[in-house]
Amino acid sequence: MASRLVVIDSADDPRIAEFRDIRERDLTGRQNRFIAEGTVVLRMLAEASHGAGFVTEKVLLLRNRVEGVAPILERLPDDVPVYVAESEVLDRVVGFHLHRGVLALGRREAAVDLIDRLPERSLVLVGCGISNHDNAGSMFRNAAAFKADAIFLDETSCDPLYRKALRVSVGSVLSVPYERKGSSLDVLARLAARGFAIWTLSPHGDTDIRSIPPTDRMALVVGTEGDGLPPAVLERFQSARIPQSDGLDSLNVATTTGIALFAMSSAAKLI
């Protein structure tokens, strides 16, 4: 283990340039690269580096965290450099103190068409215009918890590889297959053409979420807080609602997807 550690004693070292001032910027959009933070997310990245479509390019650790993450580092290929720094150096590199002392640079490999890879019995989550990174991360965490097979995001949604979304998901962005492209109607049309029953979620939906009849292929569609789903989507597909107290307009996306996915996966006997 000691032989693969590279000591960094300057925040200006070019070998760790990607980690510099990550609070002020994000690597998303730069060849599908992203920053992973914390032990749990590093573990998920290491697992995802074994045929799940992700690559670990390098790791940056606080010196006193090396021993604790040693079993994770052993799962990484031998050619992945592991840089180590004292806290005063690491704080200057990252730009803030609350970085947990465990950082990695990852890269998502080119994805193939996700729809064609879904099993015949599938539950998927579709996000339209999801711009809040916390909500995006929560959607992935909920999808992992309730055994959704994939997440489809339209082109107006934020990239789930943003640092905050990845952190909130507790690494689930690295384990739940996802695709982010096309308009919401394009995404839903593709799913419908492959036999998915499309269920849009709205406070005024026609069907109680607990009464959705289970089918082999189901898609739950959620929109932004406030505006909700576009009228064109609501008019074209079946709608469902989560019963709630009078006077409350809606729940946030994180809570909504948790409740709805639980109901649908329970009905389909996935959990």
User: Using one digit for the tens of pLDDT, what is the confidence trace for 27-60?
Assistant: 655 678 898 989 999 999 999 987 778 999 999 9
C-alpha to C-alpha distances, 235 to 20, 88, 201, nearest whole angstrom: 47, 56, 12
Q: Give the number of other Cβ atoms within 10 Å of residue 149's Cβ.
A: 19
Task: Say if residue 38 is in the same domain as residue 120.
Answer: no
Reduced to 3 states, what is the DSSP secondary structure of residue 107? strand
- Residues whose CB falls within 8 Å of the CB of residue 244, separated by 6 or more in sequence, listed in order: 203, 251
Task: Say if residue 139 is in the same domain as residue 261.
Answer: yes
Q: Residue 25: pLDDT above 90? A: no
Report the distance separating Cα 186 and Cα 88, nearest Å. Answer: 49
CATH of the domain at 84: 3.30.1330.30
Is residue 135 very low, low, confident or very high in pLDDT (cuts 50, 70, 90)? very high
Name the residue among 83, 106, 221 with its Cα closest to residue 175. Answer: 106
The type of residue at 61 is L
C-alpha to C-alpha distances, 36 to 18, 149, 165, 235, 265, nearest whole angstrom: 12, 23, 10, 39, 29
Task: Say if residue 124 is in the same domain as residue 104.
Answer: no
Is residue 1 very low, low, confident or very high in pLDDT (cuts 50, 70, 90)? low
Return the pLDDT at 75. 93
Q: How many domains does the chain have?
A: 2
Name the residue among 172, 187, 28, 171 with its Cα closest to residue 108. Answer: 28
The type of residue at 121 is R
pLDDT in tens, 162-208: 888 998 999 999 999 999 999 999 999 999 999 999 999 998 899 99
CATH of the domain at 197: 3.40.1280.10
Angle, CA 250 vertex, CA 261 and CA 210 arms, to 5°:
35
Task: Say if residue 76 is in the same domain as residue 134.
Answer: no
The pair phi, psi for residue 136, each rounded to 5°, is -60, -45
Task: Say if residue 47 is in the same domain as residue 175.
Answer: no
The type of residue at 58 is K
- Please say which residue of 108, 141, 157 terminates a domain: 108
Give the rounded percent of residues in the chain with a pLDDT score beyond 70. Answer: 93
Percent helix, strand, coil in the chain, to 5, is 35, 20, 40
pLDDT in tens, 59-110: 999 999 999 999 999 999 989 999 999 988 888 887 765 557 899 999 998 7
Whole-number average pLDDT of the chain: 90
CB–CB of 34/166 below 8 Å?
Answer: yes
Task: Say if residue 202 is in the same domain as residue 176.
Answer: yes
Q: Residue 24: pLDDT above 80? A: no
Return the pLDDT at 26. 64
Q: Exposure of 134 by Cβ count < 10 A (0-12 exposed, 13-18 middle, 19+ buried)?
A: middle
Instruction: Pull the structure tokens for residue 10.
Output: 């300057």
Report the distance separating Cα 248 and Cα 257, nearest Å. Answer: 17
Q: What is the residue range of 151's domain?
A: 115-267
